[in-house]
Amino acid sequence: MRLASSPADIAIQTAKTRQSLQRRPQADLPGTLFKWLLISFTGFAIAFLGVLVVVMVNDGWSVLSGRLSGFLSNGFSQRSAQDAGVWQGIVGSVQIGIATALFAIPVGIATAIYLVEYATGGWFARAVELNVRNLAGVPSIVYGLLGLTVFVKTLDGFTQGKTVIAGGLTLAAMVLPIIVITSVEALKAVPQGIREAAYGVGATKWEVLSRQILPAAVSTILTGTVLSLARALGEAAPLILVGAATGFISFGDSNFLETFTGPFTALPVLIFNFARQPGEDWSANAAAASVVILILVLMINGAALYFRNRFEKKW
C-alpha cells in the first residue's frame, strides 16, 4: 500500500474514506406520516373553529348588523328580544374577571414558588403537586357546588351572599390549579445554572428569587395565568349555582365598586338565558352574545401572546 506523500494525495484519500463511511439516508416513513398526521389534526381544529365562528356570525347576523350598538348597551329584557342586550353581562364578566384575578393569581404563584424553591424534594411538595394536578380535571359544576356551600352560605358574612365576590372566589378556586401547574413548570424551566451563579456571587435566597428566577419565568407565568382567566370568563354553570341572575337586574345608584356586593350576571349566563327562550329572535341574541364573548376571549388570548413575546427569555 502506497502512503500519501503529498497534501493532494492526503486530501483525496480523506475524501474517499469519508464517502465510504457515509451511509445513504433512508426515507423516514414513520416520521413523515406522523408529521402529516399532526398537520391534519391542526387543520381539523382550525376548520372546526372556523365553522363554529361562521355559524355563530350567521345565526346572529340580524343582531350584529342591525342593532349592534343597542345590543351592547342595553340590559337584559324578558319582554322583547328586540330590546334585550348584554351590557349587564359585560360589566359582570369584567367584575368577575377582576375578582378571580385578585383571589387566584397571588395564591397560585405563591404556591408554585413554595413548591419549587422552598419545598423541593419533600413528600409534602410531591403530595400537594399531585393533588393540584388532579384538581385541574374536576368538572366546573363541582366547583359551583363548592362555591354555593362555602362562599355563599358559610362565608356569607364576607361575600354578602350571592355576589360578584362569591362568583370570583368560586372561579378562583376553579382556575387555581391551572395557575399553580403553569407557574411550577415555568419556574422549573429556569436553568439551574442561573441559581448556582447567583448563589456563587453571594446573593441571598430572596435576591435570587426576585431578581433572577421570577424575571426569567414571568412570561410563561403570565401566559398561563391569562389563559386560565379566559377559561373562567367562559364558564356559566358555577356562576348559576352561586346565584348569578338569569333575568333583569338593576344596579340603581350604586357605583362600580358597590356593585361587587350586589346582584350580578355574566355573559355566559345571559347566553344560557337567551338560548332557552323560544323563538328565532332569542336564538339570534344567543348567537350574537356568543360572538361577543368569543371576541372577549380572543382579546385575552392576544394579551397572553403579547406578554409571552414581551417578557420571554431564551437560553
The model's pLDDT over 84-139, given as tens digits with 9 standing for 90+, comes to 888 888 888 888 989 999 999 999 999 999 988 888 767 888 888 889 888 888 88
Q: Among 69-73, 148-152, 175-179, 183-187, which stretch is predicted with the lowest mean pLDDT?
A: 69-73
Grid cell for residue 156: 356569607
Predicted TM-score (pTM) above 0.85: no
pLDDT at 7: 60
**What pLDDT is attached to residue 110?**
93
Does residue 223 form part of some domain? yes
Average pLDDT over residues 203-218: 88
Mean pLDDT of 236-241: 87
Question: Span 215-229, mean pLDDT?
Answer: 86
173 Cβ contact partners less than 8 Å away, ≥ 6 residues apart = 104, 143, 146, 147
State the CATH number of the domain containing residue 233.
1.10.3720.10
* pLDDT reading at 259 higher than 80: no
8 A C-beta contact, residue 234 and residue 297: yes
Question: Quick one: what percent of the chain has pLDDT higher than 70?
Answer: 86
Q: How far apart are CA 51 and CA 42, in angstroms?
A: 14
Would residue 290 count as lying in a domain? Answer: yes
Does residue 93 lie within any of the structural domains?
Answer: yes
CA 26 distance to own-chain centroid: 42
Question: What does pLDDT average to over the chain?
Answer: 83
Looking at the domain assignment, is residue 59 inside a domain? no
Supply the pLDDT for residue 9. 64
> CA 184 to CA 113: how far, in whole Å?
7
Average pLDDT over residues 143-158: 89
pLDDT of residue 1: 45
For residue 29, what are the contacts with CB-CB under 8 A and spacing of at least 6?
A: none
Distance CA 11, CA 29 (A): 36
Report pLDDT digits (tens) over 268-304.
Answer: 988 888 888 888 888 898 899 999 998 888 888 887 7
| pLDDT (0 to 100) of residue 174 | 93
Residue 196 lies in domain: 87-245+256-311
In a domain, 141, yes or no: yes
Which residues are CB-neighbours of 260 under 8 A, at least 6 positions away?
A: 95, 99, 163, 164, 165
pLDDT at res. 106: 93
Q: How far apart are the first and last CA of the chain?
A: 51
Q: Confirm if 98 and 232 have CB atoms less than 8 A apart.
A: no
Model confidence at 78, pLDDT cuts 50, 70, 90, reads low
How many domains does the structure of the chain reveal? 1
pLDDT at residue 232 greater than cutoff 80: yes
- 71 close to 85: Cβ distance less than 8 angstroms: yes
Q: Is residue 55 in a domain?
A: no
Q: Is residue 44 part of a domain?
A: no
**CA gyration radius for the chain?**
28
Tell me which residue of 261, 221, 255, 256 sits closest to 243, measured CA to CA: 261
Higher pLDDT, residue 156 or 11: 156
Grid coordinates of 263: 346582584
- For residue 267, is it within any domain? yes
